[in-house]
Amino acid sequence: MMDIDHFKKVNDSLGHQAGDRVIRSLSALIQRVSGRASDLPARVGGEEFCLLVCNETEKHIARLAESIRASAAAELVKYREEPIRYTISIGAYCVIPTADTDPVTLLKETDDALYKAKNDGRNRAVIISAVPSLR
């Protein structure tokens, strides 16, 4: 799960069209950096995005999250000749799902990781693993 840090400031200071540019920029960036057809990106709402990555290790997820985070921090969005820089916070939850895996729990754990990233200062990725061998 990814959230644009301080997104309200962009909308309040430059307007919603500028915010829309940032959202489109992040959407394209997620697709470009993830690079796998099997990864499933989605805009969850507002300035929040999700990327479902299957059949990968926690190490791969951590590298991918950091790559997306660093790419966003380096991204420059232009709006009416005004350069806009933004950062994102990322929370990831690594799990080997079973038939009993509860989707609500998956989202809650992922959301908890995202809020830890935000509470730890934003512009960072926090990975939580439910796989004992990966802890």
Domain limits, the chain: 2-134
| Cβ neighbours, 10 Å, residue 31 | 13
pLDDT, one tens digit per residue, over 62-89 is 999 999 999 999 999 999 998 999 999 9
47, 58, 66, 81: which one is catalytic?
47
CATH of domain 2-134: 3.30.70.270
DSSP per position, 75-106: --EEETTEEE---EEEEEEE----TT--HHHH
The helices-and-strands tally (H runs, E runs) of the chain is: 4, 7
Question: In this model, does residue 134 exceed pLDDT 60?
Answer: no
Task: Take residue 64 and report the two structure tokens written for it.
Answer: 């991918």
pLDDT, one tens digit per residue, over 95-112 is 999 999 999 999 999 999
Mean pLDDT of 4-9: 98
Within 8 A by CB and 6+ apart from 127, the residues are 58, 61, 62, 65, 92, 93, 94, 113
* pLDDT for the residue 133: 62
Let me know if 66 is a catalytic residue: no
